[in-house]
Amino acid sequence: MLPTTTRGTSALAAAFTIYWTPQGWKGVTENHPLYGAAGTGFEGKISPGDRVFITNVLAGKLRLLGAFNVDRILNTARDGKPAEASWDAPEYLIAQAGSATNLQFIELTDEAVKAMTFSEGKPSVTVCPTGAVDGQTMRAIRKLAPTSADMLDALLAAPDSSAVTTRSGRLPVSVLEQATPQHVWWAVQTLLDGGAAHGFGESTDYDLITDSGERLPPKAVFGVALARATGREVGPEHFTAGIGSPCFRLLNAAGYDIVPKGEAPPADAGPDSGAASDAEWTEGAKTLVSHLKGERGRGLAQAKRADFRAKHDGRIFCERCSLDPVTHFKTEHGEACIEVHHATTQVAAMKPGTKTRLEDLQCLCANCHRVVHRLLRLGLTP
């Protein structure tokens, strides 16, 4: 049975969820009180006295990061940036004194996700057929049903065992999650090139399938990625691997399939489902096949998207026409139209074995991507 509690807000106050990308907790120390939150769209939606819960979705799991009661809302253009803010934003929610919880990373159970309901808009959390929480489902400001707000407050009050280092010396989940798709992609490239010294042995049970179809030991990939992300030495004793582990979930979220030893990869392994296609290329211009293959790797595409978000305050938009899909379509699901395009390397030079860098890629809307492909097919400069 899920826990319940009584919220520290008045009977007239509302409760909302907001969403943080990793930029949201930049400069905020885990297990220390939140000062508030930065973002946009707060004014006209949230009022002083309301309760705000901060959420995040990672590797298909909904996480609760903390909560506070709102003291006031600041508009940067009107009020300036508050001194305690750790990153720039159009608006800031400032927490009432003594109302904020510490920053935590609580992974909600499937039961808790199913129990969450909202009093405005879609009544529940969007869950994919695979059981994973839709990565876009919490990005809007969503008004919670009072019983769901009570449940989230109870979960924040309960001990978070995932944030505690175990006696065996394993790292907390919040540290493992610092290995982003960019770090995983870098680790894959480094291991393929034979340039990473590490203390991980060969895999005995599972293989990670790279975009080019090669097999690597999953734990070694993650260990090398985590070492780069944290700047510390990482060994086999610091985390576990296997189905259901944070290690495997984060590798999957980075775009890589993991299969049992000796088992063939899934039939659709490799292509990025968000990439544009052009059947004429494969029929009439073989030099462009490598181009298409080079920009369809799921690991590469996930790394590019994550890298782009990290450089643009969590936003993703078209680098050719500047389309902001969330603003244009008035829904966070609009981001599905942003695809990854191989822009820098000349198509004729993309021979087998050509190495791609994240800097070689662009984030383009589907329309611009299709136009650029057509121009390339005709031998014209995009």
* Residue 279, pLDDT above cutoff 60: no
The pLDDT of residue 166 is 38
Contact call for residues 18 and 25 (beta carbons, < 8 A): no
Task: Output the CA–CA distances (angstroms, integers) from residue 279 to 70, 374, 379, in the order listed.
Answer: 54, 11, 16
Segment 94-153, tens digit of pLDDT? 999 999 998 888 888 888 899 999 998 889 999 988 888 987 888 889 999 999 999 999
CA–centroid distance for 19 within its chain = 11
Asked whether the predicted pLDDT for residue 237 surpasses 60, the reply is yes
Sheet of 215-216: strands edge to edge? Answer: 215-216, 206-209, 257-260
CB neighbour list of residue 270: distance below 8 Å, 6 or more residues apart: 211, 213, 296, 297, 298
For 155, the token pair is 């979960």
Residue 354 confidence (pLDDT): 59
CA atoms within 13 A on the CB side of 379: 2
Q: Mind listing the pLDDT tens digit for each residue in 156-192?
A: 886 444 433 333 467 877 788 889 999 999 999 999 8
Closest alpha carbon to 126 in 66, 309, 117? 117
Q: Which two tokens stand for residue 169?
A: 């010396």
Predicted pLDDT of residue 350: 54
Q: Percentage of the chain with pLDDT > 90?
A: 35
* pTM of the model as a whole: 0.53
Q: Residue 213: left (phi > 0), alpha (psi -120 to 50), or beta?
A: left
Chain-centroid distance, C-alpha 323: 21
Q: Token pair 């992974």 is at which residue?
A: 107
Q: Which residue from 244, 246, 105 is spatially nearest to 174, judged by alpha carbons?
A: 105
Residue 243 vs residues 105, 127, 179, 184, 323: alpha-carbon distances, Å: 21, 20, 18, 18, 38
